[in-house]
Every structure is written in C-alpha cells, then in structure tokens.
Amino acid sequence: MNSSKILEIKNLSVTFRTSVGEVPAVRGLDLDLKKGEIIAIVGESGSGKSATARAIMGLLENNGKIKSGMANFTYSRNGETVCCDLLSLSRKEIRKHINGRRIAMVFQDPMTSLDPTMTIGKQLTEGMVIHYKTPKKEAWRKASELLEMVGIHDAEKRMKNYPHQLSGGMRQRVVIAIALSCNPDILICDEPTTALDVTIQAKILDLIAGLQRKTGVSVIYITHDLGVVARVADYVAVMYAGRIVEKGTANEIFYHARHPYTWGLLSAMPSLDSSGELYVIPGSPPDLSGYKGGDPFADRNAYALNIDRRIDPPMFRITETHYAATWLLDPRAPKVSMPAELEVRIRHMRKEEEYGI
C-alpha cells in the first residue's frame, strides 16, 4: 500500500454559537488519512464526528466556526502533485473545486441527498456531465456500470426509476454510486448505514471496502458503532467530547486498547455469543457548553484519577501509530489494565478472527 498522506488534519478546533454560549464541538483534532486507506472515526452521538467532516468540506452551519487548524489535502492535478489547506479555501472555492469531484460525501439519510423529482439515471450522470463535460451517452453508460458496481443488477431499469421506487438499502447504494461517479480521491461516509438494518449495514460496509479496493479511493467512515468497522477499517480514531481520545491501527484499537472509553466501547459491542444484557457505558456524554477544563470523560470513568478533574490528559504515544489521551499512560500513574471480562472477550474475538468465523 502506498503510504503517502492524502489528508493531514492538524489541531482542528470547531465551535458553535448557541443561546448558552460557545460550544467547543471539536478540540484540537489531529488525524492523517493515507492514500488507499479506510479510517473510521468512532464515538457516541455528539462527540464531534460530523462537525469534523463538515468543517473540512466547508459545510459547517452558519453558527459554526473553525477556531484553529489545517487540513492539508494532497492530490494530483494534470499530472502534478498539489497540496492545499482546505480550511483556508472559501466555501465557494471548495464547492467549485473540491466537493464531489475530489472529495465526495455520503450522509446518513439517502433521501436528503437524492432529489425525489429526478430519475436515478439523471442524478447519476449530472456530476459527470457538469464537472467533466462527459457526453450524455457515455455518462449514461458509466452510470449503469457504477450501479452494477454497487450491486444493483437491473441497472438499466433502475436508472429510469425515481428514488421512492427503491428500498432504503438500494437508495444508499445509489448515493454511494453518485459519490463515486466523479472519481473522487476521498470518500467521506457520515453514518451512512445507521438507518438501515444490521444485515444491510454489513453489506453496505463490505461494498465500501470492495469499492475501495477496486477504485483505490481513500475512505473516512464515520459511525457511533465500533462493531461495524471491525472488519473493514485499517485505522480507527475514537472521539469523545470533541477530542480524539485514542487512535491506532484496527489491530491496536480492537486488541490492545489503552483508553478506558475505548474499553467501554469494546465492552458494549454486541457479539455473536452475547447473551443477556449488553454492557452500556454508564452516564451520558457531557454538555460542553460550560466546559472549564479537565477530562470530560472523568465523571463516567471508573479509572479516573484526581488529575483528570483538573487537566485534560495529553496524547500519549504508545507506538508509532497508536496514541491515547489518558493519564493512566503517565509513568507516575498507578498500573491499571483493562477489565478482566473484556480481556476474555478480546481473546474470543481474536480466535473468531483466526478461524474466520
């Protein structure tokens, strides 16, 4: 795999103006996406996943503001390598040069991205005709190939359909096909399967992984469900209260997690053999509107140390690819390891993977 960085996000901070003051929605986020890689951004609702994606794409709501940061995007234009900071572009420039063509985004509800009054064929060909001046006939042929590629086999017939004539899973496939129609370098999927049932979710995720291999596109996959990305993500970033609290290769996050929040997410994952009640992380995500410092996870963290109340932990480096923001990694902290039940669970997961269950 080519390991050059295609997107390098540095120190991204986003706030929203609200009636109760400024809400820090994203706080100093660093994340790299390498060429041809699938990274997952995982975290409970409200952790700042969408705000991160929207900030990069110039799609923040009017009360949103980028306080700091860079998002260096490296791409090739007419055979030349170009690098630009997406956060320094105007919305207009992003819309004209980046959105859709170079970076495409798929949202949770396909109905909001599909036009109910236009046929699927028209919606699939529009981007190619507008951005690349592809002749209509050729665009139509490409569109039908794209539909086949996303697993819609009666493509010719479906092209003449309107969105309401398709099932939810099929609509999401169409949205993915549209996103890929302009050959983007990066595909950002923001909770694209949440509204779909678990079997269809798994199929869509496999589809995205397959498309990644076929087209070489780099993928940022956003979800609140750590379980769904286990099989497909190369790299995982766990977000909590606007920060990345742990990031690492899929192997590091699933088998060697170091942050108590990640332990909670792993324990809460449904598994094949889970019987009885599922573990839930106690409490709920904090309201950051009055944030005064300290680790926002402390109140829900059975392993919290006194220092957590005062100072938000820095990012500790565990390996070249694995980082976690927890004071437990400070050399002065007491030795703590993950809960015993979770260790058992992870051993099971590893066995399942080894035997390909």
H helix or E strand, kind and range, residue 243: strand 243-249
Q: Which of residues 1-20 bind ligand ADP (CB under 6 A)?
A: 16, 18
User: Which among 1-9, 42-50, 120-128, 146-154 is the span making contact with ligand ADP, rule CB under 6 A?
Assistant: 42-50
- Of the candidate residues 50, 193, 201, 212, the single one contacting Mg ion (CB under 5 A): 50
CB of 244 to ligand ADP, least distance (A): 12
CB of 243 to ligand ADP, least distance (A): 11
Nearest CB to ligand ADP, comparing residues 64 and 294: 64
The answer to whether 179 and 204 are in contact (CB under 8 A) is no
Q: Is 63 among the residues that bind ligand ADP (CB under 6 A)?
A: yes
H helix or E strand, kind and range, residue 348: helix 340-354
Task: Compute CA distances 119 → 16, 19, 164, whole Å.
Answer: 37, 41, 10
- Of the candidate residues 50, 99, 218, 301, the single one contacting ligand ADP (CB under 6 A): 50
User: Which among 43-51, 73-81, 137-145, 346-354 is the span making contact with ligand ADP, rule CB under 6 A?
Assistant: 43-51
Q: Is 223 among the residues that bind Mg ion (CB under 5 A)?
A: no
Task: Compute CA distances 116 → 100, 111, 127, 128, 282, whole Å.
Answer: 19, 8, 17, 20, 41
Q: Which of residues 107-166 bind ligand ADP (CB under 6 A)?
A: none
H helix or E strand, kind and range, residue 32: strand 21-34
Nearest CB to Mg ion, comparing residues 140 and 261: 261
Nearest CB to ligand ADP, comparing residues 216 and 283: 283
Q: Is 223 among the residues that bind ligand ADP (CB under 6 A)?
A: no
Q: How many residues does the chain have?
A: 357
The answer to whether 57 and 63 are in contact (CB under 8 A) is no
Q: What does DSSP assign to residue 278? A: P
3-class secondary-structure state, position 337: coil
Tell which residue, 33, 38, 25, has the closest CA to residue 8.
33
Contact letters for ligand ADP, residues 283-312 (x by CB under 6 A):
-----x------------------------
Is residue 326 left, alpha or beta, with left meaning phi > 0 and alpha meaning psi from -120 to 50?
beta
Torsion sign over Cα 325, 331, 334, 337: positive
Q: Is 52 among the residues that bind Mg ion (CB under 5 A)?
A: no
User: Which residues in this chain contact Mg ion in the complex, by CB under 5 A?
Assistant: 50
List interacting residues with ligand ADP (CB under 6 A): 16, 18, 23, 25, 43, 45-51, 61, 63-64, 288
